[in-house]
Structure 1
Amino acid sequence: MLYSIFGLIVDTVTGILGALFLVRFWMQAVRVRPPMAFAHFMFQATDWLVKPLRRLLPGVGGYDWASLIGAFLMIMVSVALDLLIAASVTPQALIVLSLLRLVQWMLYGLMGLLLIEVIFSWVNPHAPLAPLVRAMNEPMMRPLRRVIPLMGGIDLSPIVAFLLLRIGLSVSSALLLPLAF
């Protein structure tokens, strides 16, 4: 019971921090400026690790690699603690499971952004965060919208995007999980 409580706390804290690192990376990658209040929160929550990592890993190619590595380190902490408690720690398992969880977090994050955009389009397309979410989804949706025409004025590309992201989750699990053991 204590294991499950400890695991819940660790997964929650590392999940929130990892998500903030990934959002920070993605917003810079797609060149989106967040609302000031959210940006202030995100930078305060992640600067403690991003700033030291930037000394080692400066941004190359317009990407904030320190934020991506910060997310990976959060995942490694979570996986390492899970494996330590389960008493099955090998360096190979730690790295492979951390990579798998990073890919999963990224894909689930994109699915969440897509879901938020769909809800905004139904409920309030002019919400203050709607342009930010739309801009963060645009690199993923633009190629799909070129291929999938509107049907009766309804955009079906989010459904295809969800399907592709779910396939990505299945494929990543199938490819990486056997490597860990």
Structure 2
Amino acid sequence: MGASSALIFGVLINVAILLVFFRFLMQLAAVSPYNPVVLSTMKATKIVDLFSRSLPTIAKGRVNLAAIVLLIVLYLLKIFGLMYLAGQMPHSAVYLVITTFVTMIQDLVSFCKYLIFATIILSWVVMFTQSRSPYIEVIQELAEPLLAPFRRLLPNMGMIDLSPILAYLALHIIGILMNEAAKVLLTGL
């Protein structure tokens, strides 16, 4: 198989993962279901509704187990597919599963860092333009559960909000620790 088939496969599977992940996060953060961004994401991920018939939502409807299972399946397909297209086969099923979960957590940390960065930039856009779009609202509502614990820790400083910086630093440290743990864990297999 060529590099182009691996690239096409990677792009397609990453788009599917991103859509399902957005749906999961929007439900977890309780973003308004009437937002056009949420409505279009729900339409694009109708397959989650099929899994939802057999897997319930928990935590007052905020944690969608069907989306989590679908994410795990998509990540397994991604890791296995990319290894297969590169001509490498996983050493064992345990290696494949551990690699999948490590990749999922690393991608989650990276996504949260990007989300915080986007929130910082969009807060400036809102401040200077005095306008809000559905996209800005969704990003700010998705970032709020990440920033809220840090806002509780910091004293009120008026217009200055340092919680995104602390959240980003915490996620950066978590990312470094995850990379080191992954190296240790995967070299032992």
TM range (shorter): 0.7 to 0.9
Does 1:9 find its partner at 2:8? yes
Residue by residue over 1:8-58, the C-alpha shift from the partner in whole angstroms, topping out at 9 and shown as x without a partner, is: 22222111211111111111112112564323431232212x123223321
* SS across alignment from 1:52: helix
Does 1:116 find its partner at 2:118? yes
Aligned equivalent of 1:178: 184
Contact 2:33 2:39 in 1 (8 A): no
Q: Hey, what's the Cα distance between the residues in 2 that align with 1:152 and 1:44?
A: 40
Aligned equivalent of 2:53: 55
Does 1:148 find its partner at 2:154? yes
| TM, length-normalised to structure 1 | 0.86
Q: Hey, what's the Cα distance between the residues in 2 that align with 1:91 and 1:178?
A: 18
Aligned equivalent of 2:67: 67
- Structure 1 stretches of 4+ with a deviation exceeding 4 A read none
Contact 1:75 1:98 in 2 (8 A): yes
Q: Hey, what's the Cα distance between the residues in 1 that align with 2:179 and 2:53?
A: 33
**For 1:125-136, what aligned pairs fall within 5 Å after superposition?**
125=127, 126-128=131-133, 129-136=135-142
Q: Hey, what's the Cα distance between the residues in 2 that align with 1:80 and 1:109?
A: 22
* SS across alignment from 1:56: coil
In percent, how many aligned pairs have the same letter? 24
Contact 2:26 2:38 in 1 (8 A): no
| TM, length-normalised to structure 2 | 0.83
Contact 1:18 1:72 in 2 (8 A): no
CA 1:159 to 1:17, structure 2 compared with 1: closer, same or farther past 3 Å? Answer: same
Q: Hey, what's the Cα distance between the residues in 2 that align with 1:43 and 1:156?
A: 33
Unaligned ranges ≥5, structure 2: none
Aligned-residue RMSD, C-alpha: 2.1
Q: Hey, what's the Cα distance between the residues in 2 that align with 1:80 and 1:57?
A: 25
* SS across alignment from 1:88: coil
Unaligned ranges ≥5, structure 1: none
Aligned equivalent of 2:172: 166
Contact 2:10 2:82 in 1 (8 A): no
